[in-house]
Structure 1
Amino acid sequence: MKLLHLDSSALGDQSVTRELGAAIVAHWRARFPVATVEYRDLDADPVPHLTGGSLARTDSVLAAQDDRLLQQFLDADVIVLGAPMYNFGIPSTLKAWIDRIAIKGKTFRYTEQGPQGLAAGKRVIVASGRGGAYGDSSPADFQEAYLRQLFGFLGIDDIEFVRAEGVGLSPQHREQALATAKASLLVPLRDAA
């Protein structure tokens, strides 16, 4: 089994999603010791945002990097995604990575019946951190809805969110939200297919 672990928080050691994502990966390593884990820090090593040149693939170095990012995603069975909520959405560094994996003909295609995802069979676990408390259906939550839509579009319907909410309300809220999120990992995560 191959696990891809991505962090996108700009907060370094103070990041809730980095701590939560690391706990999720440790949980998976304990359950599947033979799993290989690849890691990328999208803040420390960001993927360049799309430009006309990158879309046209005129820069061979960037094109090769894009190919490696796509292959890394395609090779992964499980993706653990550290995704903090920034201004009701996701960090731009995470969006830049998504723009490199959402590729027509590689991870989705258009058919007469509509779009078809080509990346089925993967599992995505999102370590979500939110300064406020949004719950399951807040109209201000563009983070979770976007990620569910995006990965569903790519054919991935096995998506799980492990949330730490209200971390910006006070140090006590932060501590309790992380403890609750980590405790949810003690309930066995669904096995990988």
Structure 2
Amino acid sequence: MNIRKLTIRKTGDYRELAPLFAAAGLENTERVPEGFRFGFAAEDENGALAGGAALVKAGNQYVLHDIAVTEALRGKGVGRRLLCSVMAAFQDMGAERVCLAAKAPAFFRNYGFSEIDADEVPGLFHCQECESFGTKCTPEFMVMELTKERLLFVDSCVSTHRSRTRQLCDAWIRRFRKEHPGAVTDIAMAEPGVVQPMDRELILLRNELIQQRDWEAPMFDLARQFRRADYILVGAPYWDCSFPSVLKIYIENIVVADLTFRETEQGYEGLCPCRELTYITTAGGPVGEMDLGYDYIRGVGRMLGIRNFREYRAEGLDIRGADVDGIMAETLEKINHG
């Protein structure tokens, strides 16, 4: 499966996801959980179910009731994408605290969850009533306290191998989470088939929707996501003096008049409150002053209202005799120390 082509769809049908949860060994999946609000279905490029999650609100408590990935696809990033979508949705719902019962606590700990006693979440779980509790099933009760902060990771780490750009981005995100506990991470995947180029037909449709101020139209999903972000990370390898063309297509989708910017008598006025945009790139050869991708990102960012920018880059990685490990380690050191 190409994880970059994974799509995550919102669903109001718990029964659509229940067989996946049951196959993963989750308990009490034969009935819709009390307080179920909606779920997410992760689908591969062929539309097959790769994972799912169910969100519950019980009184004033928010619960990640179920989350699972099909066995064959575990460890490929499906769970990461799902959990990021879930936590962004909880934040949109106004949650300040999210609880769960985890069979794999180490996974959730990486994203800011911590263990609590069961009596700290009364009425949310019924694990103690289950005959498997303490024997076949020994979950950890966990909680994450949410802030209002949101990071958007624009992932254009297109690669035919283990992406070095993605390695640097992952390190930056780990540092960000330590510095901003409780912030949630949203992901925008810049990938052909996931983002659509603006041809004549789509431009006409966009202009019509802008005139109608129909900002909830699916066409504006990426632009709304971008506008919500407090911090933005863009990861893109250095291609042809800039970046992969699919990132330009993504940008075409987020530059929307009266949504992410507006025209005034003095020029463009940005409508995005992002505090800082970070750009990470890797290059096989030297970049030097030909850093046109970063220049372009800063230009678009300023148009949309962003004023603070930072770049990390590792270059010369494919030059014969290059100390690749040393170059990457030096860049990682810069990232880890801000």
TM-score range, shorter chain: 0.7 to 0.9
Q: In 2 relative to 1, CA 35–97 (structure 1 residues): closer, same or farther, beyond 3 Å?
A: same
For 1:15 and 1:38, the matched residues in 2 are separated by 20
Matched, 1:182 2:332: yes
Alignment of 1:10-29 (within 5 A): 10-11=158-159, 13-29=161-177
Query: Contact 2:169–2:235 (CA<8 Å) still a contact in 1?
Result: yes
Unaligned runs of 5+ residues in structure 2 are 1-148, 210-215
* 1:36 pairs with one of 163, 171, 184: 184
Alpha-carbon offset, residue 64 of structure 1: 3.5
Q: What is the match of residue 158 of structure 1?
A: 308
Alpha-carbon offset, residue 67 of structure 1: 1.6
Alpha-carbon offset, residue 30 of structure 1: 1.6
* 1:76 pairs with one of 214, 229, 235: 229
Q: What is the match of residue 287 of structure 2?
A: 134
Matched, 1:112 2:265: yes
For 1:165 and 1:179, the matched residues in 2 are separated by 12
Unaligned runs of 5+ residues in structure 1 are none
Q: In 2 relative to 1, CA 160–45 (structure 1 residues): closer, same or farther, beyond 3 Å?
A: farther
The 3-state SS of whatever aligns with 2:236 is strand
For 2:160 and 2:179, the matched residues in 1 are separated by 27
Runs of 4+ in 1 over 6 A off after TM superposition: none
Q: What is the match of residue 239 of structure 2?
A: 86
Instruction: State the TM-score, normalized to the length of structure 1.
Output: 0.84
Alpha-carbon offset, residue 105 of structure 1: 1.4
The 3-state SS of whatever aligns with 1:84 is coil
For 2:173 and 2:161, the matched residues in 1 are separated by 17
Q: In 2 relative to 1, CA 44–12 (structure 1 residues): closer, same or farther, beyond 3 Å?
A: farther
* 1:55 pairs with one of 171, 182, 203: 203
Alpha-carbon offset, residue 108 of structure 1: 1.7
Which structure dedicates a bigger proportion of its chain to helix? 1
Instruction: State the TM-score, normalized to the length of structure 2.
Output: 0.50
Alpha-carbon offset, residue 101 of structure 1: 0.9
Alpha-carbon offset, residue 13 of structure 1: 4.6
How many aligned positions are there? 183
Alpha-carbon offset, residue 23 of structure 1: 0.8
The 3-state SS of whatever aligns with 1:97 is helix
Alpha-carbon offset, residue 22 of structure 1: 0.9
Please say which structure displays the higher CA radius of gyration.
2
| RMSD of equivalent CA atoms | 2.3
Alpha-carbon offset, residue 44 of structure 1: 7.0
* 1:102 pairs with one of 255, 263, 271: 255
The 3-state SS of whatever aligns with 1:176 is helix
* 2:296 pairs with one of 114, 133, 146: 146
Letter in 1 for 2:249: A
The 3-state SS of whatever aligns with 1:181 is helix
The 3-state SS of whatever aligns with 1:125 is strand
Letter in 1 for 2:159: L
* 2:194 pairs with one of 26, 46, 51: 46
Highest RCO, 1 vs 2 (Cα 8 Å, sep ≥ 6): 1
Alpha-carbon offset, residue 45 of structure 1: 5.8
Q: In 2 relative to 1, CA 64–169 (structure 1 residues): closer, same or farther, beyond 3 Å?
A: farther
Q: In 2 relative to 1, CA 92–177 (structure 1 residues): closer, same or farther, beyond 3 Å?
A: same
For 2:192 and 2:329, the matched residues in 1 are separated by 26
The 3-state SS of whatever aligns with 1:57 is helix
